[in-house]
Amino acid sequence: MIGANSMFWHEEIETLNRAELEALQLNRLRETVRRLERVPFYRAKFRASRLKPEDLKTADDIRRLPFTTAADLRANYPNALLAVGRDEVLRLHTSSGTTGKPKALFFSRRDIDTAAELIARAFCMTGVTRRDVFQNMMSYGLFTGGLMMHYGAEKVGCMVIPSGPGTSERQLLLMQDFGTTVVHVTPSYAFYFADFLEKKGIDPRKSLTLRKAFVGAEPYTEETRSKIEAALGIEVYNSYGLTEMNGPGVAFECEGKCGMHVWEDNFVLEVIDPATGEPVSDGQTGELVLTSVNREAMPLLRYRTRDLTSIIAGPCACGRTHRRIHRISGRSDDMLIVRGVNIYPQQIERVLMSMPQIGRNYVIQLEGLDEMTVRVELSPSGFDGEVEHLAQLQNLVAEKLRAELFVRPKVDLVASGSLPVAEGKAKRVIDKRSM
Kindly list the residues in this chain that would bind ligand ADP in the complex (CB under 6 A).
95-97, 143-144, 216-219, 238-243, 305, 307, 328, 331, 425
Least distance from C-beta 377 to ligand ADP, angstroms?
Answer: 21
**Nearer Cβ to ligand ADP (262/411):** 262
**Nearer Cβ to Zn ion (112/122):** 122
The entry of ligand ADP, Zn ion, none that residue 39 binds, CB within 5 to 8 Å by partner kind: none
CA separation for the pair 24, 89 (Å, rounded): 25
246: left (phi over 0), alpha (psi -120 to 50) or beta: left
Least distance from C-beta 423 to Zn ion, angstroms?
Answer: 32
Least distance from C-beta 183 to ligand ADP, angstroms?
Answer: 15
The entry of Zn ion, ligand ADP, none that residue 318 binds, CB within 5 to 8 Å by partner kind: Zn ion
Task: Estimate the crossing angle of helix 168-178 against helix 187-200, to 10 degrees.
Answer: 80
**Nearer Cβ to ligand ADP (114/238):** 238
**Nearer Cβ to ligand ADP (58/99):** 99
The entry of Zn ion, ligand ADP, none that residue 165 binds, CB within 5 to 8 Å by partner kind: none
- By the 8 A CB rule, do 108 and 297 touch? yes
Least distance from C-beta 316 to Zn ion, angstroms?
Answer: 3
- Per-residue b/e over 54-70, b at no fewer than 16 CB within 10 Å? eebeebeebeebbbbeb
Least distance from C-beta 222 to Zn ion, angstroms?
Answer: 17
Least distance from C-beta 141 to ligand ADP, angstroms?
Answer: 11
The entry of ligand ADP, Zn ion, none that residue 218 binds, CB within 5 to 8 Å by partner kind: ligand ADP
Q: Could you tell me which residues come within 8 angstroms of residue 25 by beta carbon, excluding any fewer than 6 positions away?
A: 59, 264, 265, 268, 293
CA separation for the pair 285, 310 (Å, rounded): 5
The DSSP secondary-structure symbol of 52 reads -
The entry of ligand ADP, Zn ion, none that residue 307 binds, CB within 5 to 8 Å by partner kind: ligand ADP
**Nearer Cβ to ligand ADP (168/238):** 238
Q: Is 38 helix (H, G, I), strand (E, B) or coil?
A: coil
**Nearer Cβ to Zn ion (15/69):** 15
SS3 content of the chain, % helix, strand, coil (to 5): 35, 25, 40
Candidates 355, 399, 388, 358; CA nearest to 376 is 358
Least distance from C-beta 323 to Zn ion, angstroms?
Answer: 10
340: left (phi over 0), alpha (psi -120 to 50) or beta: left
Least distance from C-beta 144 to ligand ADP, angstroms?
Answer: 6
CA separation for the pair 4, 375 (Å, rounded): 45
Q: Are strands 429-433 and 410-414 parallel, antiparallel or unpaired?
A: unpaired
CA separation for the pair 32, 24 (Å, rounded): 12
**Nearer Cβ to Zn ion (106/263):** 263
Q: Could you tell me which residues come within 8 angstroms of residue 314 by beta carbon, excluding any fewer than 6 positions away?
A: none
The entry of ligand ADP, Zn ion, none that residue 365 binds, CB within 5 to 8 Å by partner kind: none
CA separation for the pair 127, 132 (Å, rounded): 10
The entry of ligand ADP, Zn ion, none that residue 76 binds, CB within 5 to 8 Å by partner kind: none
- Per-residue b/e over 149-163, b at no fewer than 16 CB within 10 Å? bbbbbbbbebbbbeb
**Nearer Cβ to ligand ADP (46/134):** 134
Question: H or E segment at 211?
Answer: none
Comparing every residue's Cβ against ligand ADP, the nearest one is: 216
Least distance from C-beta 140 to ligand ADP, angstroms?
Answer: 13
**Nearer Cβ to Zn ion (225/320):** 320
Residue ranges in contact with Zn ion by CB under 5 A: 254, 316, 318, 320
The entry of Zn ion, ligand ADP, none that residue 238 binds, CB within 5 to 8 Å by partner kind: ligand ADP
The entry of ligand ADP, Zn ion, none that residue 217 binds, CB within 5 to 8 Å by partner kind: ligand ADP
